[in-house]
Structure 1
């Protein structure tokens, strides 16, 4: 079973039903203060924390006095616009006394499906975490439509866990784990402590039960588990209504842990290595040596650019003899790479006419 205190980077998903009182539509402030204490505790252990939070539509619905019945898309978008600013402010207010800076990150499905936008999201989140910030991530419900939305924050949380290379994903839910049947309907239902593989039998046990304020059922949680564990991230489902839900998980609260199938770095390297290169760059000997020591590829180490590739594409890395030593996801198009090759990173803005990233390929985006 995974140990929460051993995690290097944790993504925590918070459902609407935990944040917003079903009857009044008000924020559960006491619960949120308890969660803030948990976040501070994890960060004090040296762990990066990302919160994937529902609640904007539920909060906005109350402010706008919209009905509790299912909302039309336009009503949901309006409620999200009103509720999102309140949700972000609430997180800022409870985390600031602990010396924690927060950031709001709104995403849509296209941000993970489009490789350029995926890399931009990843770079932004990585920079925020490197600065000690706790990102508060939510689906951008103000613009997302049925065609592009994740549809629930369980799947969104799994995608964010993959994006940031988290080693643990915690789904704070209204149930305390994965059961063989719906425990509210079947007294013989058994909770699983650990699931090492999501088999067809396990999938058949999942139901569609959800709460009135949330969209997520157990099927979506299994989909999230598949995504997370394949990328090297262990996932837990636990009941989250306690005042200190993460501390509770640490001290033995009921939960189901899904075992990671590999580690995050190895999974990402395999994903990159499997891509078809769209071009290549030939490196000098110094760059080859630097890459072997785990460094990023800087423009100064590039001698030649071949192919017609765009930012986010996979390209081959060639040594001075023309032999491939690996592949990587480029942060520049072929034309841009050709303009900045052989130059220092400080010269990029002058050469291109706009600021760019220091590395042509970051070390996390290459497989040697």
Structure 2
């Protein structure tokens, strides 16, 4: 028997919901669950990260997908989630499956304690042969606290459980070297550096929230954790096993041969930027070998608390590292605005003024996709998150 694997599968809304009637596509769900049964019989563990709740709830709420606002989507998620879980459960009965629902928000990934709690829950479900079905809790999240897309949410789950394979099932048969509407576009069957194809990621589905850009972000996160990423069309008889076995077309994203530790991966692959620091070039040269001290900081931005992860830039606006801050943004501002006064006197308690300690800092390597660099605007440095990239 082949080595048993942990497999995380992300399923797009367009595969789960009929685009015209906004009802569950039971034929697809049947093929999916049958394939999962086949994989489980071979000793593999499968975790589903499923979109579809918002799309299925649109009909109940009475709003068209293209016209839905945030409140409409929240209400649709509340209506659609029972439909989605019922569809999985009804089909799962045929294969004697038990399923469990895990609804997450951004904070469950960004706060390390909540991250570990979620990890423990997933592992306990797998021990009991229960299929975890993970989704963002869209019924309560706002734009400020959303993960934003289930592609990256699924990638964080893959990192969390140290999955062997991360499969994104969508409505296109993989990554193309340019817009697939171009008659000269070619399928990229295998890729190591996904950053080479960012310019080919324009477009997204009507029902989904992400396009190919979020899928490349997601597989890059999986690669960093030593996980093999796959992007493939989900409409197949054996949607998961056929792509893993190489029996049909798709894009295979090779894992980093020297993956980072679980801690460094959690630090490096963020879903939202809490804030950033611009540090002196002398400090950049020694990243990883010493702490980032308040004297190293040229400027900062963001409203963050202790334990948030900050993005670290050099003076030219190139992102160099990410690390866990020991201070709030208010404390940091006070310290760097008054460099001649002792930090103890400014803050009212004893401190060495080490903003980020070296063991809580990870330097970015070439295989990391970086966020947009700080830009000048009205004399202030700001950061444009990758979610706001015009390609998205």
TM norm structure 2? 0.65
1:145 Cα shift? 1.1
> 2: CA distance between counterparts of 1:268 and 1:251?
29
Instruction: Name the counterpart of 1:84.
Output: 81
Instruction: Name the counterpart of 2:249.
Output: 254
Partner deviation per Cα, 1:132-159 (whole Å, 9 max, x = no partner):
1110000000111111111111111101
Answer whether contact 2:224 2:265 (CA < 8 A) is retained: no
Assess, with a 3 A threshold, how the Cα gap between structure 1 residues 114 and 32 changes in structure 2: closer, same or farther. Answer: same
Instruction: Name the counterpart of 2:377.
Output: none
| Structure 1 unaligned residues grouped into runs of 5+ | 275-311, 314-368
Instruction: Name the counterpart of 1:341.
Output: none
Instruction: Name the counterpart of 1:231.
Output: 225
| Structure 2 unaligned residues grouped into runs of 5+ | 269-306, 309-392
> 2: CA distance between counterparts of 1:269 and 1:154?
21
Aligned to 1:238, the other structure's residue is in SS state: strand
Answer whether contact 1:7 1:167 (CA < 8 A) is retained: no
1:142 lines up with 2:136 in the alignment: no
Partner deviation per Cα, 1:66-92 (whole Å, 9 max, x = no partner):
223231111111100010011111111
1:191 Cα shift? 1.1
> 2: CA distance between counterparts of 1:46 and 1:159?
23
Aligned to 2:143, the other structure's residue is in SS state: coil
Aligned to 1:84, the other structure's residue is in SS state: helix
> 2: CA distance between counterparts of 1:40 and 1:141?
29
Assess, with a 3 A threshold, how the Cα gap between structure 1 residues 235 and 17 changes in structure 2: closer, same or farther. Answer: same
Instruction: Name the counterpart of 1:98.
Output: 95
1:202 lines up with 2:197 in the alignment: yes
Aligned to 1:104, the other structure's residue is in SS state: strand
Assess, with a 3 A threshold, how the Cα gap between structure 1 residues 269 and 74 changes in structure 2: closer, same or farther. Answer: closer
Moved over 4 A (4+): 269-274
1:55 lines up with 2:49 in the alignment: no
1:238 Cα shift? 0.3
Assess, with a 3 A threshold, how the Cα gap between structure 1 residues 187 and 272 changes in structure 2: closer, same or farther. Answer: closer
> 1: CA distance between counterparts of 2:151 and 2:131?
19
Aligned to 1:12, the other structure's residue is in SS state: strand
Aligned to 2:133, the other structure's residue is in SS state: strand
Give the aligned CA root-mean-square deviation in angstroms: 2.1
1:110 lines up with 2:107 in the alignment: yes
> 1: CA distance between counterparts of 2:264 and 2:16?
37
- Alignment partner of 2:210 out of 210, 213, 216: 216
> 1: CA distance between counterparts of 2:237 and 2:83?
21
Partner deviation per Cα, 1:290-312 (whole Å, 9 max, x = no partner):
xxxxxxxxxxxxxxxxxxxxxx9
Aligned to 1:210, the other structure's residue is in SS state: coil
Instruction: Name the counterpart of 1:25.
Output: 22
> 2: CA distance between counterparts of 1:155 and 1:99?
30
After superposition, where does 1:144-223 map in structure 2 within 5 Å? 144-184=141-181, 186-199=182-195, 201-204=196-199, 206-223=200-217
> 2: CA distance between counterparts of 1:141 and 1:258?
29
> 2: CA distance between counterparts of 1:71 and 1:273?
34
> 1: CA distance between counterparts of 2:192 and 2:241?
24
> 2: CA distance between counterparts of 1:211 and 1:69?
11
> 1: CA distance between counterparts of 2:97 and 2:44?
13
Answer whether contact 2:173 2:232 (CA < 8 A) is retained: yes
Aligned to 1:103, the other structure's residue is in SS state: strand
> 2: CA distance between counterparts of 1:244 and 1:271?
31
> 2: CA distance between counterparts of 1:246 and 1:273?
30
1:106 Cα shift? 0.4
1:124 lines up with 2:118 in the alignment: no
Instruction: Name the counterpart of 1:280.
Output: none
Number of residue pairs aligned between Structure 1 and Structure 2: 268
> 2: CA distance between counterparts of 1:259 and 1:129?
26
